[in-house]
Amino acid sequence: MLRVLEDRLPAVDAIVPLASPRSAGARLSWRGREWEVSVPGPGSFEGCDVALFSAGSGLSREWAPRAAGEGAVVVDNSSAWRMDPGVPLVVPEVNAGRASERPMGIIANPNCSTIQVVVPLEAIRRAAGLVRVVLSTYQSVSGAGQKGIAAYQAERDGGTSASSPFPGPIFGNVIPRIGPMGESGWTEEEEKMRNESRKILGMPGLEVAATCVRVPVEIGHAVTVAVETERPLEVEAAAAAIAAMPGVRLFDNSLDPLPLQTADTDEVYVGRLRRDPDRPNVLHMWIVADNLRKGAATNAVQIADVVLRG
C-alpha cells in the first residue's frame, strides 16, 4: 500500500504508520523520510483524511469505527465490512460514486478476484445487460498471505512448511477449494465472489456461480468467465466495450495475458474473448491481474484518491 500510495498519489505527503505492539518503534522509509511506527490508541486518527486498513477482520471491526469517529475515512481491506448495508463496496472503475455514500465513514475494498472480474463485467453490463456469470478462478499462493508464499517456496525447494495455510501440498499441485466450506458445498471464497459481485454491480439478483482454485503461482490471479447477457452481443462490440473501460488492457486472440505479466502492474488484463458456440447470448473470457496490487493495495489507494478528490 505504501509503495502504491507513493506511486499514485503525489499530493499525499504525510503518513501515520500504525501496527501491533511488536512493531512499535520500528522505522520505515517513505518519500525520502523516516517514519516511526506507533500502536493505535485514542487520538491516533485525529487529523488523518484517510485511514488505510489491512489488519484482518477482527481488528478492522474494532478500530474502523474508532478511526471514523475521529474524522478519518476508513478504506478497509478485510472482509469485515464488505456486506454491511451501511458500507459501500467500491471498485472505482465500476462504482466510484458509491464512495461518497458512507454513513459509517467506512468504505470496503472487495475480495481480490472479485475486483478484477467486475471491471470487464461492468463493461459487458453496460453494453448488453447481465443474466448469469459462471467463474473459475486460478488464484496464486500470495492470496493466502506470506505464509502461502513461504509454503510454496519451501515445497519448491524440497522442504515442507509447518505453517502452510493450504489443506495439501501446493507445489506441483492444484487445490480446488479456498477457505472453509459451508453446508451447501460452496466455499467462503466462492460465496464472497457471488455476493460481492452482486453488490458492486448493483444487481442483487444476478446469477453468479464460482469455483475458486489455488494454483502454484506466486503472484497473479486468473479467472475464466462465462457471461450470459440479456441481449446478443457480437465479439467485436464486446471487445470495444471492454477496451473502453479504464484500467483494462484487452489482448486480441493472438496473445494470451499471463499471470507473470501482471506482477507489479495495476491493470486488469483480458483475453481469450469469444462467443459461445451454442448459446448466442454467452461470451467467454480470461481475466488476469496482480492480486497484491489491483486486487488489494492499488484498489484501496484508488478509493483513497476518490475520497481525497471529494
Q: Are 116 and 223 in contact (CB under 8 A)?
A: yes
CB crowding 242-268: b at 16 or more within 10 Å, else e: beebebbbbbeeeeebebebbeebbbb
Catalytic residue among 48, 112, 212, 284: 112
Strand-pair partners of 228? 132, 282
| Residue 253 in this model has a pLDDT that exceeds 90 | no
d(C-alpha 265, C-alpha 291), whole Å: 10
Residue with cell 507489479: 264
Q: Write down the pLDDT at residue 310.
A: 86
48 tagged catalytic: no
Query: What pLDDT does 254 receive?
Result: 87
- How far apart are alpha carbons 60 and 106 in whole angstroms? 10
Is the pLDDT score of 259 beyond 90?
yes
Domain with CATH 3.40.50.720 in the chain: 2-110+297-309
- Tell me the average pLDDT of the chain: 96
The CATH code belonging to domain 113-291 is 3.30.360.10
**pLDDT value at position 199?**
98
Provide the percentage of residues in the chain whose pLDDT is more than 70: 100
Give start-end residues of each CATH 3.30.360.10 domain in the chain. 113-291
Torsion of CA 19, 75, 193, 245, to 10 degrees: -130
pLDDT tens profile 42-52? 999 999 999 99
CB 283 within 8 A of CB 238: yes
pLDDT at 86 over 90: yes
Q: Residue 107: what pLDDT?
A: 98
Catalytic-residue membership of 221: yes
Rounded to two decimals, the pTM is 0.95
For residue 31, the surrounding DSSP H or E stretch is none
Query: How far apart (Å, rounded) are the C-alpha atoms in residues 14 and 32?
Result: 11
For 132-189, write each residue's pLDDT tens digit: 999 999 999 999 999 999 999 999 999 999 999 999 999 999 999 999 999 999 999 9
Question: Which CATH code of 3.20.20.60, 3.40.50.300, 2.40.160.10, 3.40.50.720 fits the domain covering 2-110+297-309?
Answer: 3.40.50.720
What are the tens digits of pLDDT across the range 264-277? 999 999 999 999 99
The whole-number pLDDT of residue 228 equals: 98
Q: For 220-235, what is the mean pLDDT?
A: 97
- Give residue 241's pLDDT: 98
